Amino acid sequence: MATRKFQMMDVNLTTGESGITDISDLFDEFLGGTGVATKLLSEMPPGMDSYSAEAPVIFAIGPFDTIFPVATKTVALFKSPLTGNLGESHAGGRLAMAMYGAGIHVLRIRGRAPTLSYLVIDEETAVVKRANSLKGMSALATERMLRDREDSEFKRSIIRIGPAGERLSPIGEVTVDAARHFGRLGLGGVLGSKNLKAIMISGGKYWKIDNKGQFNIFYKKLYDSVVNSPLMKKYHELGTSVNVIPLSKINGMPTRNFSQGSFEGAREISGERFAEKHLNQQIACAHCQVGCIHVASLRERFSAEDQHYKTFKVSYDHELIYAWGSNLSIGSTEEILRLLLIVEKQGWDAISMGTTLAWTVDAYAHGFIGDKETVGLIPAFGDAKTFEKMLGRIISGHNEFYRSLEKGSVFCARIYGGKEYSIAFGGNEAAGYSTGLWGFLGYATGVRHSHLDAAGYSIDQGNISNPQSDEILTRNLYNESVWRMILNSLVICLFARNVYTKEIILEGLDVLGISGWTEDRLIKTSRHIHALKYKFKEDCGFKFEDQELPGRLLRTVTSSGMLSSERFRTEIDRYKSFIADDRRSLGI
Ligand code: SF4
């Protein structure tokens, strides 16, 4: 097997210059993906503003991407404008395939284009082009325009921001191809600050597989465990929205801004109901055999007076149903889809925007905001029409209050009060699980404050049937968080985390001729990457001491019962001590 070469493309948007560097040594040390990107982000001065022209955005893929099943993701690292520290987001679609085809394993972007622009990368050539005609365009329309405007002989990936990113919203997202997103932590705002509306990538430089016999045997083994075993069945059938009814039954489905864990309308907004009423197609990221992306049809009038209709495609999953369904007490699939379409067109992080609107309901009810701020609108749970009008006012920048709403609930609570109703951890609005202490602890301690950092919600659910000590559970949370550094360096879809065992990973590296990896080295590398991330976070001002349970959650019954701030604090301190031990032993 030929020695694998890994390359980074650097693009300076200020000058329009680009260059290619061989970074095989970084891939040898950090495996790829999040490991390599973390090392590169660590070069950024921690005091630099997220929106500074020189702040880097780093997109990285891993050695398995596009070659093995469900190794489909690209990781983006940046300094988050939402939390002020590590920004990390993962997306599927065709981006990893297109980067791989272009022969680029890392794309690092710095600088600021003089005017709104888009970047076209065709193999090793990068051209910055003016995008003034795309100004204010939705993420959906931008893709259509670029697909018509730019040609390529290879399959392309187009990633772009919507108007929210152009307005530098710190909850602005980046849409990737048909229905994937770099959703969390404000990458859309960062690209907006660089005047970068979109990136289109393509190329045909695929690696040659020269040990086909060994490759085919390994590939078939992986393929069978993805397609024929039960490990990924639920993602293919109803997708993650299969969770809605079971979570509601165990009090784990956040409802009415996390004041309850059970939604009386769960059946009406379940994955089963969405499939019956709206499912139009299921699509997959490039080189995924599962196809978990469920896309609904939404038929809408062109305008209130018009008798003509247009059909939109809107993707849905558990997180979106939580953020725009149960947590806002909206029990109609049509109303959820209509709100999601607005969010998609604007390019906001759907979780953060939905959770921020949930905050407005409590903030209004408890007197932190009033008519002076909302100007005639009364946010109320279940009132989708008012939420739609509020979104319209955020888009038009109606007043200071509405402009604040697209900065997230933490910012709003700082300005207007009602901190206990801002359900956020580490500055990032919470995902859709109210299962208990380790779910919330996972949000608070995770490197990106996401449910995907360590799946604490699974630990909570396991603990209900098989109780363990707090120390063991926090240690399990920590170990999972550290191990995911390897999965995210490869960069596989985390839905396939049980397919990619240590043994499979080592065999896959061997099949690709990437030598020198052992189980022990994988573990050491995962700890190294994890420690580097925490160093960056702390250098940017993150403190474990600042992490607390939002007041609302101290009065909510979760799947695991009531929570106490003392127990939360004890486990935060314990988690911190695990990291301190690792950093001390690694000298980081
Ligand atoms: S399981 Fe879903 S998110 Fe994961 S790679 Fe497949 S289609 Fe993409």
User: Distance between CA 165 and CA 391 in Å, rounded?
Assistant: 15
Q: Which pLDDT belongs to residue 2? A: 56
127 C-beta neighbours (distance < 10 Å), count? 15
> Which tokens sit at 4?
């694998």
pLDDT in tens, the chain (588 residues): 557 899 999 999 999 999 999 999 999 999 999 999 999 999 999 999 999 999 999 999 999 999 999 999 999 999 999 999 999 999 999 999 999 999 999 999 999 999 999 999 999 999 999 999 999 999 999 999 999 999 889 999 999 999 999 999 999 999 999 899 999 999 999 999 999 999 999 999 988 888 999 999 999 999 999 998 787 888 889 999 999 999 999 999 999 999 999 999 999 999 999 999 999 999 999 999 999 999 999 998 887 777 788 899 999 999 999 999 999 999 999 999 999 999 999 999 999 999 999 999 999 999 999 999 999 999 999 999 999 999 999 999 999 999 999 999 999 999 999 999 999 999 999 999 999 999 999 999 999 999 999 999 999 999 999 999 999 999 999 999 999 999 999 999 999 999 999 999 999 999 999 999 999 999 999 999 999 999 999 999 999 999 999 999 999 999 999 999 999 999 999 999 999 999 999 999
Q: Which pLDDT belongs to residue 214? A: 96
Q: Which pLDDT belongs to residue 306? A: 75
- Note whether 431 and 453 are within 8 A (CB): no
- Note whether 547 and 444 are within 8 A (CB): yes
> Which tokens sit at 68?
């093995």
Distance 490 CA to ligand 1 centre (A): 15
| Atom number in ligand 1 closest to CA 288 | 6
Measure Cα distances from 16 to 152, 511, 558, 587 in Å. 21, 39, 52, 39
239 CB near ligand 1 (under 6 Å): no
- Note whether 236 and 292 are within 8 A (CB): yes
Distance 303 CA to ligand 1 centre (A): 35
Q: Which pLDDT belongs to residue 234? A: 82
Distance 489 CA to ligand 1 centre (A): 17
- Note whether 364 and 371 are within 8 A (CB): no
Q: What is the DSSP letter of 447?
A: T
Q: Phi-psi region for residue 493, left (φ > 0), alpha (ψ -120 to 50) or beta? A: beta
Per-domain residue ranges of the chain: 7-202, 238-425, 428-586
382 CB near ligand 1 (under 6 Å): no
CA angle 252, 254, 258 (to 5 degrees): 120
CA 110 remoteness from chain centre: 21
57 CB near ligand 1 (under 6 Å): no
| Atom number in ligand 1 closest to CA 284 | 7
Q: Do domains 238-425 and 428-586 have the same CATH topology?
A: no
> Which tokens sit at 581?
């031990």
Distance 362 CA to ligand 1 centre (A): 35
Q: Which pLDDT belongs to residue 230? A: 80
| Atom number in ligand 1 closest to CA 291 | 7
11 CB near ligand 1 (under 6 Å): no
Helix (H), strand (E) at residue 56: none
- Note whether 531 and 583 are within 8 A (CB): yes
Q: Phi-psi region for residue 70, left (φ > 0), alpha (ψ -120 to 50) or beta? A: left
User: Distance between CA 295 and CA 455 in Å, rounded?
Assistant: 25
288 CB near ligand 1 (under 6 Å): yes
423 CB near ligand 1 (under 6 Å): no
> Which tokens sit at 164?
């929210």
Mutate to test the pocket of ligand 1, among 285, 320, 492 (most ligand atoms within 8 A of CB): 285
Residue with tokens 């769960």: 266
Residue with tokens 């979760």: 558
Nearest CA, atom 8, ligand 1:
285
CATH number of 7-202: 3.60.9.10
Distance 122 CA to ligand 1 centre (A): 25
Sequence-separated contacts (24+) of 157-160 with Cβ below 8 Å? 157/93, 157/94, 157/95, 157/97, 157/98, 157/99, 157/200, 157/201, 157/202, 158/198, 158/199, 158/200, 159/91, 159/93, 159/95, 159/198, 159/199, 160/118, 160/197, 160/198, 160/199, 160/347
92 CB near ligand 1 (under 6 Å): yes
Bridging pattern class, strands 7-12 and 106-110: parallel
Q: Which pLDDT belongs to residue 302? A: 80
Query: Which fold is adopted by the domain 428-586?
Result: 1.10.599
Distance 293 CA to ligand 1 centre (A): 7
Distance 258 CA to ligand 1 centre (A): 28
Mutate to test the pocket of ligand 1, among 288, 318, 494, 499 (most ligand atoms within 8 A of CB): 288
Distance 492 CA to ligand 1 centre (A): 9
SS3 category, 260: strand
Q: Which alpha helices (H) appear in 366-455, and where do they start and end?
A: 371-374, 384-396, 400-405, 409-416, 437-445
Distance 60 CA to ligand 1 centre (A): 18
Q: What is the DSSP letter of 308?
A: -
Nearest CA, atom 4, ligand 1:
493
284 CB near ligand 1 (under 6 Å): yes
| Atom number in ligand 1 closest to CA 289 | 6
Mutate to test the pocket of ligand 1, among 64, 292, 294, 320 (most ligand atoms within 8 A of CB): 292
Measure Cα distances from 387 to 374, 428, 514 in Å. 11, 21, 52
Query: What are 74's strand-pairing partners?
Result: 91
Query: Which fold is adopted by the domain 238-425?
Result: 1.10.569
Query: What are 161's strand-pairing partners?
Result: 174
User: Distance between CA 514 and CA 535 in Å, rounded?
Assistant: 29
83 CB near ligand 1 (under 6 Å): no
291 CB near ligand 1 (under 6 Å): yes
Q: Phi-psi region for residue 185, left (φ > 0), alpha (ψ -120 to 50) or beta? A: left
